[in-house]
Structure 1
């Protein structure tokens, strides 16, 4: 398949997985069981793999993925953001949705979905990337909610989840344009909080550094080699190392101590706030801009 065809194949698989995953989101459901079910669903497609850990983000959290033995569950007071990534031969489909189990937040969820849908409508090749931010500014002008301005969309390339061009969620002076052959993850996070996200002291998502420190331990060298062969520099979790690669928690702890992996901290808004997230991949063709993650 061509790169374009592969992006769209990944997008179709992603759409099907996303739609089935929505049935898993119920009060009392285990985050770990949900993540494992989504991973199993992706693995049922011979050509597809997980592009990054399944993010199951409650309330004011971003970038949380279940740990081995995780006991967290969804309550009827929560809203949950489900962010799933699929790749086919390194070509990535990345998308997210939000479900409000607490219906007091349904308006914010519906608003976020509507804003993304309308922002992506009518994009054209050659447009400035900053047009996306300008449209978002218009939507947010009279809104009771705030868009989180220090989280943004990003270009994706083969094996590269966060590539060269950033997509700011407000109007900027970015010189970049939407060029044929490019793909972008357009994501927005809208909140009733401060509109600014901060890093917590904890991380559960990691990636191999592009330049590795030499290691004497043969087992650690093999672990790094296996991760690279399967994921290049795409993110992973401790649970991936333990459940999928069949290494031990001690092996993972030693890998962390080796200095060869980057950490992506859990991000948090102000306590008591809620965040809604929606995201899709757009592909820029010669004559149109299409959403790969919608059918």
Structure 2
């Protein structure tokens, strides 16, 4: 059996040097391009499998066209298209869902160059052609809450400095305020976290790389009777850091469960586990995973022999050499909205923040809530913040633009 993969630079400090910034920006250009392309195809009658395939194809072709020697690059998060009450990990390989008018759709994906990662997620609504008005039902509240919570946190982080200290508690309170304002609930698993090279929250990977050195992170967990509702380290956000803002809101309880019948299609390699697999299909599948995949999750669709992969992945999972990403759902009658962006807090001294993913190119869909942000509230202040901090957006590359690196 091949030796476990070793990723050079795992968990090492990230200095935002010029070369690192270029790699982050390059990954962001490709992530934004793929996200915009998939969102543009989200319309009634669209096949979710084809949408996921489109996103992954763009990510793969784009990343493989640059840094052609000596630099690992590729998909950091496979494209998923999660509809209505689905939160994450839906990337079907057969019997795909067909989008319908009224669906609330979350498209999520990510790219990396040399382990420097840009991830994004945006929520849209499948509206009828020539719609006469915005979506005004309960799902609109979740969509607006997720959008404004994400935007407010980005502005809060971007303004972080010695005179405007940002802590875990302030981040949590701001997101919770958005949920209360629009009468929705923060979905468990939502997080605002510092990310590092190769480390963006993959199952098991960070535990093995960091050990007791836990990352800066605010995460929403399911409440357990008799235990505190949350427990955050009182960290302080600092310039020179990279952050992932990933916030989901629900019209229901915010509690999610694994889908009972959909077989997971997304997995991640656990490089710390070795095992002499018995089935030839499992051995073949693991060999390909070891030779072509990194510490990032991958979709079975990306393996060369999908039939063999489907047969072999079960033993790989049972023996612990891979971990699965199950499709997560809220109650069928509820709706989840989700927004995710990656942000760099420059340490160049010019108080500039760089928004890698999301931004003005990914606008709030046509929705309207019966609730409004209270004038003078923290959410209102950040929603209209015009600070000295300048937020630069990477945005979407022009069609046909190329990059030789």
**Shared fold (TM-score greater than 0.5)?**
yes
Write the distance in 2 (CA, Å) between the matches of 1:251 and 1:223: 6
2:109 maps to which of 65, 84, 101: 84
Partner of 1:168: 219
C-alpha displacement of 1:141: 3.0
2:181 is aligned, of 131, 136, 142, to 142
> What is the distance in 1 between the residues matched to 2:255 and 2:307?
38
Q: Note the aligned Cα RMSD (angstroms).
A: 2.7
Unaligned runs of 5+ in 2: 1-17, 67-72, 128-134, 207-214, 221-228, 358-392, 396-405
Does the 8 Å contact 1:153/1:167 carry over to 2?
yes
Specify the SS of the correspondent of 1:121: helix
Q: In structure 2, what is the equivalent of residue 231 of structure 1?
A: 293
Secondary structure at 1:76 match in 2: coil
The SS at the match of 1:86 is strand
Q: Cα distance 1:220–1:189, how it changes in 2: closer, same or farther (>3 A)?
A: same
Q: Hey, what does 2:370 align to over in structure 1?
A: none
Determine if the alignment matches structure 1 residue 64 to structure 2 residue 83.
no
Moved over 6 A (4+): none
User: How does the TM-score come out when normalised to structure 1?
Assistant: 0.87
> Which structure carries more strand by proportion?
1
Q: Name the CA distance, whole Å, in 2 between partners of 1:178 and 1:270.
A: 35
The alignment status of 1:156 with 2:195, answered yes or no, reads yes
Q: CA, structure 1 residues 9+21, in 2 after alignment: closer, same or farther (shift >3 Å)?
A: same
Q: Distance in 1 between matches of 2:146 and 2:48?
A: 23
State how far apart, in whole Å, the 1-side matches of 2:218 and 2:270 are: 24
- Cα 1:173/1:155, change in 2 over 3 Å: closer
Q: 1:109 aligns with which of 143, 147, 152?
A: 143
- How far the C-alpha of 1:216 sits from its partner, in A, is 5.2
CA distance in 2, matches of 1:277, 1:200: 18
TM-score with structure 2 setting the length: 0.65
Q: Deviations over 1:42-80 (max 9, x none)?
A: 223113521122111111112233232333211113211
Question: Which of 229, 246, 252 is 1:187 aligned to?
Answer: 246
SS of 1:87's equivalent in the other structure is strand
CA drift at 1:220 = 4.4
Is there any run of 5+ residues in structure 1 with no aligned partner, and where? none
Distance 2:311 2:61 in 1: 30
Specify which of 339, 345, 351 is matched with residue 278 of structure 1.
339
Which of 275, 280, 292 matches 2:356? 292
The answer on 1:5 being equivalent to 2:64 is no
Counterpart in the other structure of 2:322: 261
Q: Give the distance between the partners of 1:254 and 1:140, measured in 2 at CA.
A: 41
Aligned length: 294
Is contact 1:167-1:186 (8 Å) kept? no
Contact 1:154 1:167 (C-alpha < 8 Å) held by counterparts:
yes
For the pair shown, which has the larger CA radius of gyration, 1 or 2?
A: 2
Residue 41 in structure 1 maps to residue 58 in structure 2: yes
